[in-house]
């Protein structure tokens, strides 16, 4: 147990139990890759959508998904777009617009993908946020971050991911990956993943 005393006199106890209380748990590389569903892109905050209603230019809009996951649209005020597929959002928009525009014919495209980002922190040469314009695995993300710094512990890297409001992590050994052993750990990253290099 380690005790850190702050200037205000508050004492914080940091224990292994805290990690358990926060809901962190290890997951396998197989679990990580099994969660990826090709062709089922889910909209995220920051994405720009172009919504077109046929023969109704007043209802054709380019909208940005707000940080709370919502978009604004005429006649229906706000609607949640985040974490929905294009098909799901299109279905809900049609349902909400139907009282005003019966049998509405609309289409939605993603004009800009801005929500696909991961974060690399710790002992790398260029820590920070990385945009995922294409599928990205752990080794590629670390390379984009400039590689490990001199005193990094490559054997104990962790990839943290939020799944259904619960935090989990995937262990990653850089030395094994560099040698081509245990390739399954080099998982494909998902939006919001955080790679921590101690």
The alpha carbon of 133 is separated from its chain's Cα centroid by a whole number of angstroms, namely 13
Token pair, residue 146, equals: 């400039």
For 57, the 3-state DSSP assignment is helix
Q: Provide the b/e sequence for 163-172 (b: ≥16 CB within 10 Å).
A: eeeeebbbeb
Helix and strand element counts for the chain (H, E): 5, 12
- Mean pLDDT of all residues belonging to the chain: 84
Token pair, residue 150, equals: 């001199």
pLDDT digits (tens, 9 = 90+) for 51-99: 999 989 999 999 999 999 999 999 998 999 999 999 999 999 999 999 9
Task: Name all domains of the chain by residue range, CATH numbers in brackets.
Answer: 23-38+115-197 (3.10.560.10), 48-112 (3.30.1950.10)
pTM above 0.75, yes or no: no
Answer whether 70's CB lies under 8 Å from 79's CB. yes
Tell me phi and psi for residue 27, to 5 degrees: -130, 160
* 156 or 16, which is more confident: 156
* 159 or 133, which is more confident: 159
For 26, the 3-state DSSP assignment is strand
Q: What is the pLDDT of residue 37?
A: 52
For residue 138, give the nearest of 164, 113, 157 by alpha carbon: 157
């Amino acid at each position: 147990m380690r005790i850190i005393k702050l200037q205000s006199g508050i004492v914080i106890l940091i224990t292994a139990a805290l990690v358990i209380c926060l809901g962190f748990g290890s997951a396998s590389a197989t679990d990580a890759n099994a969660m990826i569903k090709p062709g089922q892109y889910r909209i995220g905050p920051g994405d720009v959508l172009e919504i077109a209603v046929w023969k109704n230019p007043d209802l054709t809009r380019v909208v940005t998904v707000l940080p709370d996951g919502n978009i604004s649209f005429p006649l229906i005020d706000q609607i949640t777009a985040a974490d929905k597929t294009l098909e799901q959002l299109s279905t809900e928009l049609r349902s909400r617009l139907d009282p005003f525009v019966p049998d509405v014919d609309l289409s939605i495209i993603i004009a800009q993908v801005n929500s696909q980002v991961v974060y690399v922190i710790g002992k790398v040469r260029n820590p920070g946020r990385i945009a995922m314009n294409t599928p990205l695995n752990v080794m590629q993300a670390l390379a984009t971050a400039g590689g490990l710094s001199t005193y990094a512990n490559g054997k104990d890297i962790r990839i943290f991911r939020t799944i259904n409001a619960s935090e989990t992590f995937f262990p990653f050994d850089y030395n094994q990956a560099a040698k081509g052993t245990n390739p399954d750990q080099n998982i494909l990253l998902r939006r919001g993943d955080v790679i921590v290099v101690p």
